Structure formats: structure tokens, C-alpha cells
Amino acid sequence: MNRNRLVILLGMAGFIVMADNWVVSPILPAIAKSVGVPAAGAGALIAAYMLPFGLFQLVFGPLADRFGKSRVIIGTLAAFSVATALLALGTTIPALASIRALTGLFAAATMPISLALIGDVIPMEQRQQAIGSFMGIAFLGQALSMGIGGAIAYFLDWRGVFLLYGAFAALVTIVLWRGLRTAAGGETRNPNAPVLRPYLDLLRDGASLRTYLVILFEGVFLLGSFSYLGTVLAERFQLSFLAIGGVMTAFGVGAVVAGRTGAAVAARFGRTRTITGGLLLAAIADGLVVAGSGNLWVTGVGIFLLGFGFMTAHSTLLTVATEFARSARGAAMSLVTFAFMLGGAAGTQLGARVIGASGSNTMYVAYGVGLAVLGFLATPALSSATRGPSPAQATT
């Protein structure tokens, strides 16, 4: 199978999953009004999704190693399509929350198992560009989600959002099913793959543990910064949800550009310097968001640079992690995604407290400093991991 086509197909699966991840926020008031509850009460839909989405990252990795990555991706994406469409039928918050939890459960497999499959079938010298392209497409879905959801809800209603998302996910599932049949021959599969041992081995190894810690704190500061960009745009410039989605497209564009250039940068400067550089660019981006308090263009440049810096660092970290456990790559990549999302959840919650106490500018200054410090610490922390897998990792 053409490897570029494989990356695009997996990227579209990541696109719809990441878009679905964030789409509830802009349509939450409409959902609350429709079912007759306060907006705060409808917030349970967000928590109902995020908890299984985070926890089941760790379940699907070993399952993919044992039964096949392409099978797990296709099966869970098909179930995700059905669950997403069923949300349009919910009439109470408990019913919607239950279905939303199922959506999060099945969505958990797409990102880490897609990355593991890319690690299986694409040679190391081409892998970072493939991972960068995949992540760029996926995070374009995240960046566009508020605008897409707001536009659909405006022209139809909130139920139409889930019907159309479910239909698109079903279409992607069918195309993936047809396309992955030829890619499945290159994936690794171990019918006797253990469930817990790969995680314990990865966390006992110093190089991989330090890498996961960098990814955890990357999630804290980077996803924490991303989470409140929509709020910043709305408060500063009184933009509509549609306009917010348009401006936040800059994040996705920056991520896509970095995904295409990250491999060349890493080849020239080395992976450790590329990770450090990406984190420092993201720190500068947070500074531009603060500096752009009265200027939409400066804020937009900051959003673009945040996406560019994020993908420069993150695609390199992911490439490094694909070599941590070659015989249990699904588990290794699931732990990456779990660490990143756990950090993002913590960063989002902490950011809310900082904004409530001191305002958004204080949060972006603090997170920018955090990214800069993390960038400098990444150099000694990742020096051994970026040179290649240790003997313990290679035989995991």
C-alpha cells in the first residue's frame, strides 16, 4: 500500500476523533437548553467522555499487540461511529452522558494504535515525517472542531452535529477497512502479548521513563495553553464560534507545516535539539498570546507558532517512542498518549484556577515559562533516549 495514502487515511480517522473530542464545548448551551437543564449540569458530558478516553488508552495497546492493530482501529472506529450518531437521539443528560462515555471509550484506540501501526510499517528514516503528517491532520480536526460544530449547530441544530460526525466517521471506517487490508501484512502481532509487563518494563527503564515524563509535562503546558485559546479569542475580540474556529485553524496549519518539516529539521540538528527547539517555540507562542491582548494578528501568529512548536517537539518525541518496545509497540504508544492526555487534563484544570485567580495572561506567562524550562531540561533528560533504544527496550 502507498505509505502516504496510509498516513492520510489514518490521519482522517484521527481528524474525526480529535474533532469529536472538542466539539461539545461550543454546543453545550444548546444541548442544555434542549434537555431543560442548566449549562453547568450539561458539563457532565465532557467529564463522561474524558475519563474513559484516558483510561482505555492503556487497554487498547496490549489488545492491538495481541490481535492486530488494523483490526482494533477499524473495530473501535466503527463502534465510535455508531455511538456518535446515537448521541443525536438522547433526550436526558444521564442518557447522553452514558452514550458519550461509550464514544470516549472507543475513541481512545485511534491515536495510539495508529501511531503504533505507522511504527510497524514505515521505516525509521521516513517515520518522523509520517508521524508529523498524521498528527498534523489529526490536530487540524481539533483546531477546527469548535468552528465546525458551531457552524453545523447554527445551520441545523446540535443533534445534526453528532449525526454528521457519525456519518463521516462511518465513511472513514469503510475506506480504512478497504485500505488497511494491504497494510496489515507489515504490522507486528503477538498472540501471547502480555498486558501489564510492557508498561512495567517501559517505566522501569530510565530513558523511556524520562521521555514519558517530558511528554506528561508537555501535555500540561501545551494542551493547557491550547484549551483556553477559544475563550481568549471570545473575551478579547468578541468573536463568534465560527470566527473563533477560523482563527484557531492557524494552530492546525502550524501543526501540519511542522509535520512536513520536522523530519528534515531532526535530521540536520538531531532529535534532542529539535524537541528542545519546538518547546522553546511554543514558549514564545504563549508570550505572543500575552503580547497580542489588543491585536488579533499578533494573537493569531502566536496560535500558529503554538501549533508549529507543538508538532515540531511532539512528532519527534513520538518517533523516539516508537522504538521503545518493538514487540509491544501498541503498549508503548498507548502510554505516550495516556501521559500526554493526563498532562493535558491536569494543565486544563490548573489553568482554570490560575485564570480564575489572576486572569488568562498570567496563565499564559506561567505556561510559557513552564515550556521554556521543560525545553532546557529536555536536553539532558532525553540524551540517551534519542540515541536509540536501550537493550532492555529493544527486547521488550
Q: From residue 38, give the alpha-carbon distance in Å to each of 154, 192, 254, 268, 352.
A: 20, 49, 37, 54, 20
326 exposure class (CB count in 10 Å sphere: 0-12, 13-18, 19+): middle
CA distance 310 to 258: 8
Query: 26 CB contacts (<8 Å, ≥6 apart)?
Result: 146, 149, 150, 153, 230, 241
Task: Note the helical H segments in the chain.
Answer: 3-35, 39-42, 44-55, 57-67, 69-86, 93-107, 110-121, 124-155, 158-183, 197-204, 206-218, 224-227, 229-237, 241-269, 271-291, 296-321, 329-358, 360-382, 391-394
CA distance 342 to 345: 5
6 touches 120 (CB < 8 A): no
Residue ranges per structural domain of the chain: 1-192, 194-396
Cell of 377: 531540561
Q: 68: left (phi > 0), else alpha (psi -120 to 50), else beta? A: left
Count of alpha carbons within 13 angstroms of residue 277, beta-carbon side:
15
How many residues does the structure list for the chain? 396
Three-state SS at 396: coil
375 touches 283 (CB < 8 A): yes
At 40 the pLDDT is 56
Q: Residue 71: name the closest of 116, 103, 136 by CA.
A: 116
Query: 129 CB contacts (<8 Å, ≥6 apart)?
Result: 259, 260, 262, 263, 264
Q: Decide yes or no: CATH 1.20.1250.20 for domain 194-396.
A: yes
pLDDT along the chain (396 residues), means of 10: 81 91 74 74 72 85 86 94 94 90 93 88 85 84 74 80 93 87 62 73 85 92 84 80 75 84 86 93 96 91 94 89 75 85 83 87 95 92 64 42
Cell of 371: 515550556
66 touches 340 (CB < 8 A): no
**Amino acid at site 125:** E
Q: What is the pLDDT of residues 306-353, one digit of tens each?
A: 999 998 999 889 888 887 766 677 888 888 888 888 888 788 878 888
CA distance 250 to 316: 21
Cα(first)–Cα(last) distance of the chain, in Å? 28
Same fold, 1-192 and 194-396: yes
At 166 the pLDDT is 94
Looking at 3.40.50.920, 1.10.10.60, 3.90.1170.50, 1.20.1250.20, the CATH number of the domain 1-192 comes to 1.20.1250.20
Name the residue with cell 476523533: 17
Q: What is the pLDDT of residues 178-229, one digit of tens each?
A: 877 665 556 666 666 666 777 888 888 888 889 999 999 999 999 888 878 8
Q: From residue 143, give the alpha-carbon distance in Å to each of 179, 215, 227, 253.
A: 26, 20, 10, 9
Cell of 310: 507543538
315 exposure class (CB count in 10 Å sphere: 0-12, 13-18, 19+): buried
127 touches 322 (CB < 8 A): yes
Q: Residue 273: name the closest of 126, 396, 376, 390 by CA.
A: 376
What 35-42 contacts at long range (C-beta under 8 Å, 24+ apart), as own/partner pairs, is: 35/90, 35/91, 35/92, 35/93, 35/96, 37/93, 41/93, 42/93
CA distance 96 to 104: 12
